[in-house]
Structure 1
Amino acid sequence: MTQSLRLRLFIGAVLAIAFILLLVASGLSRIFSNYVADRYRADMSAIIDQLAAGVEFQGAKALMKNEPGDPRFELPGSGLYWEIVTEDGVVFRSRSLWDIELEPEGLLDGPYGFREGVGPDGEPLLVQLRKIEIENPDATRPLTLLAAFDRRVIDDAISEYHGAMTIMLVLTAAVLLAAAFMQIGIGLAPLSRLQNGLALVRSGRTDQLPSAGPTELRPLVSELNGLLKERETAVERARARASDLAHGLKTPLTVLLQLSDNLPPREQTLIRQQVDLIRQRADRQLQSARLGVEQMAQTGLASLTGKLISVLAPVTAARDVLWHVDLDEQLTVDMDPADLAEALGNVLDNATRFAKSEIRVTAEREKDCVRLDVEDDGAGVAEEALSEIATRGVHIGEDEGTGLGLAITADILTAYGGSIAFSRAASDGLKVSLRLPVTA
């Protein structure tokens, strides 16, 4: 079964329309067929009445005084016929029958309430038969009266009607299907508006869905707004706990460092190393706890990158390192500005420390992300070591940092559904490629 609600509704409408139109077609066909058959039965009855009125008896001999006046009875094979059979086998018939007789005993039951026989040209005839008795002074004389016409006449009339009816029903079906399609579109439009509202919430432009809308969707909107409110409360609690933990660790670690000044150099170095390790682990855990908490925001990539470069520019200017930045002002990514600044800042800071003469920053839109490349012309990293750069505690070259910068960047991007990759730049330096999430 298809997962599309629109397609399900349309298929249901098609089946319903087809079923109803088939019922209508069957009913109209039956009504028209009965109407045509009734008209022909009435016409044949009128002919039989004329025949009965035109027969007289002189003793036992039957005489045909007045024949029906329709000129078609005088034309052989015209399609309209009559015949009278007396009790002693005398037959009166129209000239249109030519040299054949309609034998009452040989007639079969036919459609539309008629009997069926064969005409002068071998075509099927529909025959109406009536047996009457004419009273004379000497006796009652029985007669068998027959009126017939070509079956193809009524079949052609019904066929033409079916053709016209089929065209009309097809046009009706087309109009009904178009109306059903429009109705489905109008009926599902509130769901599209609800989707757009959720997209606005996700992008950080609003924090609640609009309550206006169809009555049937208001309970759903209310539940979603309640869920968003609970999520916002949980976010604030998580941030508060992370902040409390950070402040709670800061003071004891500072005290430990001060106390270590009174220890011998060996123990003092050991204490400082352990305190640094605690700070690194705390920073990493706090960063992980905060990641993904506020992902419903969009950030301009060019603007944020420009701010970060402006902070690093004094450092690179002192070493005559040039920045080459090529970023589209319209590029935005679905990340919190603080998270993106920390992830990208680590990469730019790394390039600043190792670049010799230039740093290149470029970006382009891909299918479901923005790929941002940061290249430096430093010493680079050996091919076999590229896969380990983002591992915690791994240092690049002789760098004496914490070894957490690129690892934190990788964690941030992973939390947002992005990724980080490393390769050799065209200048043999390091090329860092960030894939940043973008809503389609």
Structure 2
Amino acid sequence: MKSITRYLVINISIWALLAALSAGVILTSLFRTSAEDAFDGQLDMVLKMLVGELATQLFSSEELSRPGSLGQPRFELPLSGWYWTVSRSNKDELVFASLSLGGENLTVESQSEKQYTGGIGRYLMGKGPDGKRIRILEREISFGPDQSYYFRVTGNAAELDEQIRSFENRAWLLMVLFGVVLLTASLLLVRTALRPLTKLQRRVRDVAIGKSEAIVGSYPVEVDGLVEEANILISSNKETLERARTQLGNLAHALKTPLSVITNEVRSSDLQNADMLVQQVDVMRDQIQLYLDRARFAARHNTIGTVTKADPVLKKLTGVMSKIHPEKMVDYECSADSDICFRGEEQDLEEMIGNLVDNACKWASSRVVVSLTEGLEEAAVKRPQKKNANVRKWLSIIVEDDGPGISEGKIDEALKRGKRLDESKPGSGLGLSIVTEIANLYQGTFSLERASLGGLRAELVLPAIKEE
């Protein structure tokens, strides 16, 4: 699962449910067995007392008389469910019966699997005169030739069932409470155990937004190694960036001077193909600058924790453009969300916005509108394949002008490096292609379309973060 908390909660809930269910089944089963044994023990005791009284009369050669209450008043309460009978061996000739039976007889329904352990006998289920379920203990005892008797002692099965049912209700309620308490305790334990991960997430976020240069704090042994390795990675990333910048700067300076010397020498020479050589040197200079720019962009955008506040950059560039193109008398409109930040280098953001605004100023008749908002605009949503799943927020920069615009068929051509659709306008033709390259390095999007003002609408979508 993507969530450790959800995984632990689901598993703990399953095991808590199984534990409570198993405990409830075992507990109620043990109580049922114990209650039935205790109930049968009472019947066994009464049967033995009944056999003892009758045996005393038979061995004393006295005339048989009905035994008394046997110390159990329930056997004298009419239709109480507690009965006893003594009959001849054929079971049909009833000799004595308890007063509670009221002269009626018992109905035997089925034999229990449980055998009577005190001698030859068995447990039966039946009904009393009033139709109530009773549990019967039956035993045949012989006191001599032609002196065999069947003894039956019954108990009210409804009382036993009610006792068991009452315990089961209380037991299952207890198991539910036990499960709730166990689940609650487990949730608290999970939250407490995972709290260091929440702390770690905040510290990593501080590094990502540039508030901290490393992950700080004390963490459990299980994640301490991860924190140490992450700090090593952050430090290594910064060192790699600095080395790359230094090497790129050295390479740029090392190539600049020889190319300038070659250009000057060729121009001052009398060679017939001097113009062609100068042209090729310019091509070399452009290609070197191209790949230096790409390497510089790649090194910068991979830097961990680099964040740039977008609003000041946007307002600064629009202010600069009004001074660069004073002859245009362009009306600039700028609106920006002051809390949103670009996840990248300030130089890259300045280069992208600067190229877009400069291009709009060149073509605008009288108006340029620049807006910066949080989230994806409708056009960017239509290109989900460009969205980086690891970035939670995005910013949208839209630059519009009221110039002549370009047709849809020439949009792809305008984005090509060094391509100028109108040679009368100043520039190298590299601006829009540079914007495209930088945006792609940050896994953003850049698109051109017809603006509502009538000119060109340039839309730039880049990874962002919201200030807290």
- TM-score of the pair, normalised by structure 2: 0.84
Partner of 2:440, secondary structure, is: helix
**How far has the Cα of 1:325 moved from its partner?**
1.0
Query: Which residue does 2:381 correspond to in 1?
Result: none
Residue range with higher mean Cα deviation, 246-255 or 68-77: 68-77
Residue matched to 1:31? 30
Is contact 2:196-2:219 (8 Å) kept? yes
**Which residue of the partner structure matches residue 92 of structure 1?**
96
Instruction: Using the TM superposition, name which of 159-168 and 188-197 deviates more.
Output: 188-197
1:169 aligns with 2:172: no
1 CA distance for matches of 2:456 and 2:410? 11
- Higher deviation after alignment, 326-335 or 244-253: 326-335
Q: Which residue of 2 aligns with 1:397?
A: 422
CA–CA separation in structure 2 for the residues paired with 1:255 and 1:165: 97
The secondary structure found in structure 2 opposite 1:127 is strand
TM-superposition CA deviations, 1:247-283 (whole Å, max 9, x none):
1111111101211231349644323322222222112
Q: Specify the alignment match of 2:230 in structure 1.
A: 224
Residue 336 of structure 1 corresponds to which residue in structure 2? 345
Shifted more, 337-346 versus 288-297: the winner is 288-297
Residue identity (%)? 27
Could you report, residue by residue, the CA deviation over 1:214-241 in whole angstroms, capped at 9, with x for unpaired residues? Answer: 1211111112222222222222222222
Which residue identity lines up with residue 173 of structure 1 in the other structure?
G
Mean alpha-carbon deviation: is it higher for 369-378 or for 111-120?
111-120
Distance (Å, rounded) in 2 between the aligned partners of 1:29 and 1:42: 20
Cα drift, residue 416 of structure 1: 0.5
Report if aligned partners of 2:66, 2:97 keep a CA contact under 8 Å in 1: no
- Deviation of residue 144 (structure 1)? 4.3
Give the counterpart of 1:109 among 100, 109, 112: 112
SS of the residue 2:433 aligns to: helix
| Residue pair 1:205, 1:297 contacting (<8 A) in 2 also | no
1:150 to partner: Cα distance: 2.4
2:386 maps to which residue?
Answer: none
Q: 1:408 aligns with which of 412, 415, 434?
A: 434
Q: How far off its partner does 1:141 sit?
A: 6.5
With over 3 angstroms needed to count, the CA separation of the structure-2 counterparts of 1:195 and 1:157, relative to structure 1, is same
Shift of 1:439: 4.3
C-alpha displacement of 1:190: 2.1
Amino acid at match of 2:98: S
What do residues 394-431 of structure 1 show as CA deviations (whole Å, max 9, x unaligned)? 11422342211110111001110111111222332222
The match for 1:377 is: 402
Determine the structure 2 residue equivalent to 1:205: 211
Distance across 2 between alignment mates of 1:338 and 1:266: 43
Q: Mean alpha-carbon deviation: is it higher for 26-35 or for 386-395?
A: 26-35
Question: What SS does the corresponding residue of 1:435 show, helix, strand or coil?
Answer: strand
TM-score by length of 1: 0.89
Number of residue pairs matched?
Answer: 435
- Give yes or no for the alignment of 1:313 onto 2:319: no
Could you tell me how far 1:306 is from its partner in structure 2?
A: 1.9
What displacement does 1:361 show? 0.9
1:424 paired with 2:456, answer no
The answer to whether residue 462 in structure 2 is matched with residue 436 in structure 1 is: yes
Q: After superposition, what is the alpha-carbon deviation per residue over 1:58-80, rounded to whole angstroms, capped at 9, x for unaligned?
A: 52753225333544433443211
Counterpart residue number, 2:120: none
Aligned mate of 1:276, from 282, 285, 295 = 282
Q: 2:332 — aligned with what? A: 323
Q: Partner of 1:387 in structure 2? A: 412
Match of 1:64 in 2: 66
Two-structure CA RMSD over aligned residues (Å): 2.9
Any stretches of 5+ residues in structure 2 without a counterpart?
117-122, 377-392
Q: Distance in 2 between matches of 1:379 and 1:140?
A: 130
**Distance (whole Å) between structure 1 residues aligned to residue 73 and residue 250 of structure 2:** 114
The one-letter code of the counterpart of 1:371 is S
CA contact (8 A) 1:333 1:370 kept: yes
Is residue 420–residue 435 contact of structure 1 (8 Å, CA) maintained in 2? yes
